């Protein structure tokens, strides 16, 4: 669920601004560091609205930091019941709809918000002051330096540094996605009961993973500048037959995943679609080990996703097997 893009963020200490960040504001970097620090240290309970592709939904979130552990519970307030509970990024329980969207391992690679790194791919600036959910805020803009990622306008809580509003913007200035807090309580202590999922939140059983993170046998001949492989795995079906290789790439802010699965032939239909900020591209490729369906899904422009899909290659050692 993309609504929490700026919530599970970790960062180390803030360092000096390099020459390459001449177009970025040191104050903006400091605010992003405050955001990451707040998420690592601040417990809170709140409500927010999420807008995507003309559709709105409302949610409650509980976030507790205790003894170095981070527990999150997210519950949708309208429509079908949707709820998920995570501890240190690992899914503990989820409703049926959300279970189908979670990676088979049930874990999320940590997202590291590093202002120094981001300044290589985004221009950071403080746009002024604002007010969201009755709280004073500081507006920070992240403008991409190329066409392979989207921009963000953030409103960060002046008291805590937590995100109160996030707008994702494309290169034409069009709004792709909105996350906006409507209520935030950072003072009431959260108990164990606050973080417990409801009856519809079923324990999540992770799928078996048959390969360590760095061994999946695939590489990309092209990636957008700044994107790095942050996790990878091979998942096999219950019969031990067909396998699905998964790779996740990250530039410190944006993410996309690549799925590679053997297929019977290259005659199937390719897919090229975009829903709000999310691009989905599927292409059939011929490899030394047979036909493969490559699917790229993530919040990157459609043309970028397509180029990544067409760039996937087997490592030579894997191709000889």
What CATH number does the domain containing 31 carry? 2.50.20.10
CB atoms under 10 Å from CB of 320, counted, come to 9
Same domain, 145 and 253: no
Same domain, 85 and 226: no
Round to whole Å and give the CA distance between 258 and 222: 13
Residues of the chain below pLDDT 50: 1-21, 210-215, 317-321
Tell me whether residue 99 is in a domain.
yes
Tell me whether residue 208 is in a domain.
no
Query: pLDDT at position 40, please?
Result: 86
Round to whole Å and give the CA distance between 151 and 69: 31
Round to whole Å and give the CA distance between 313 and 299: 22
Tell me whether residue 68 is in a domain.
yes
Show which of 143, 176, 203 is a domain's final residue: 203
CB atoms under 10 Å from CB of 165, counted, come to 21
Same domain, 156 and 31: yes
Tell me whether residue 72 is in a domain.
yes
Same domain, 284 and 138: no
Query: pLDDT at position 166, please?
Result: 97
Which residue bears the tokens 């709809």? 97
Round to whole Å and give the CA distance between 60 and 16: 37
Show which of 141, 174, 203 is a domain's final residue: 203
Query: pLDDT at position 238, please?
Result: 57
Show which of 168, 203, 238 is a domain's final residue: 203
Tell me whether residue 210 is in a domain.
no
Tell me whether residue 213 is in a domain.
no
Same domain, 47 and 99: yes
Round to whole Å and give the CA distance between 295 and 220: 13
Secondary structure of the chain in HEC code, one letter for each residue:
CHHHCCCCEECCCCCCCCHHHCCCCHHHHHHHHHHHHHHHHCCEEEEEEEEECCEEEEEEEEEEEECCEEEEEEEECCCCCCEEEEECCEEEEECHHHHCCCCCCCECCCEECCHHHHCCCEEEEEEEEEEECCEEEEEEEEEECCCCCCEEEEEEECCCCCEEEEEEECCCCCEEEEEEEEEEECCCCCCHHHHCCCCCCEECCCCCECCCCCCCCEEECCCCCCCEEEEEEEEECCCCCCEEEEEEEECCCCEEEEEEEECCCCCCCCEEEEECCEEEEEEEEEECCEEEEEEEEECCCHHHHHHHHHHEEECHHHHCC
Kindly report the CATH number assigned to the domain that includes residue 250.
Answer: 3.30.200.100
Tell me whether residue 246 is in a domain.
yes
Structure token digits, residue 212 = 């360590």
Q: How many structural domains is the chain composed of?
A: 2
* Residues paired with 56 in a beta bridge: 51
Same domain, 132 and 9: yes
Same domain, 19 and 164: yes
Same domain, 199 and 229: no
Tell me whether residue 178 is in a domain.
yes
CB 38 within 8 Å of CB 161: yes
Same domain, 57 and 158: yes
Query: pLDDT at position 9, please?
Result: 32
Same domain, 158 and 238: no
Question: In which domain, by residue range, is 232 found?
Answer: 218-319
pTM of the predicted model, to two decimals?
A: 0.83
Query: pLDDT at position 94, please?
Result: 93
Q: How far is CA 315 from CA 106, 287, 312, in A?
A: 27, 11, 10
CA-based Rg of the chain, rounded to a whole angstrom?
A: 20
Same domain, 64 and 170: yes
Same domain, 130 and 265: no
Query: pLDDT at position 300, please?
Result: 96
């Amino acid at each position: 669920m993309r609504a929490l893009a700026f919530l599970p963020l970790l960062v180390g200490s803030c360092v000096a601004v390099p020459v390459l960040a001449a177009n970025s504001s040191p104050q903006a970097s400091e605010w992003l560091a405050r955001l990451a620090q707040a998420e690592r240290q601040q417990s809170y309970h709140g409500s927010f609205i999420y807008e995507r592709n003309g559709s709105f939904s409302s949610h409650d979130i509980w976030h507790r930091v205790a003894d170095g552990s981070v527990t999150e519970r997210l519950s949708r307030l309208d429509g079908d019941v949707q709820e998920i509970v995570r501890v240190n990024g690992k899914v503990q329980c989820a409703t049926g709809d959300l279970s189908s969207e979670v990676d088979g391992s049930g874990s999320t690679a940590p997202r590291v918000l590093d202002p120094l790194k981001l300044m290589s791919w985004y221009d950071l600036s403080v746009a002024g002051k604002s007010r969201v959910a009755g709280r004073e805020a500081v507006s920070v803009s992240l403008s991409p330096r190329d066409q392979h990622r989207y921009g963000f306008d953030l409103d960060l809580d002046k008291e805590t540094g937590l995100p109160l509003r996030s707008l994702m913007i494309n290169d034409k200035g069009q709004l792709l996605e909105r996350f906006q807090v409507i209520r935030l309580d950072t003072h009431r202590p959260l108990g164990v009961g606050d973080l417990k999922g409801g009856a519809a939140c079923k324990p999540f059983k992770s799928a078996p993973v048959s390969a360590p993170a760095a061994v999946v046998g695939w590489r990309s001949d092209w990636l957008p500048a700044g994107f790095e492989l942050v996790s990878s795995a091979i998942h096999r079906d219950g019969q031990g037959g067909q396998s699905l290789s998964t790779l996740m790439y990250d530039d410190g802010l944006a993410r996309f995943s690549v799925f590679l699965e053997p297929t019977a032939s290259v005659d199937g239909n390719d897919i090229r679609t975009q829903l709000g900020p999310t691009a989905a591209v599927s292409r059939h490729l011929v490899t030394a080990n047979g036909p493969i369906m490559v699917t790229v899904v993530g919040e990157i422009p459609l043309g970028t996703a397509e180029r990544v899909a067409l760039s996937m290659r087997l490592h030579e050692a894997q191709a000889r097997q």
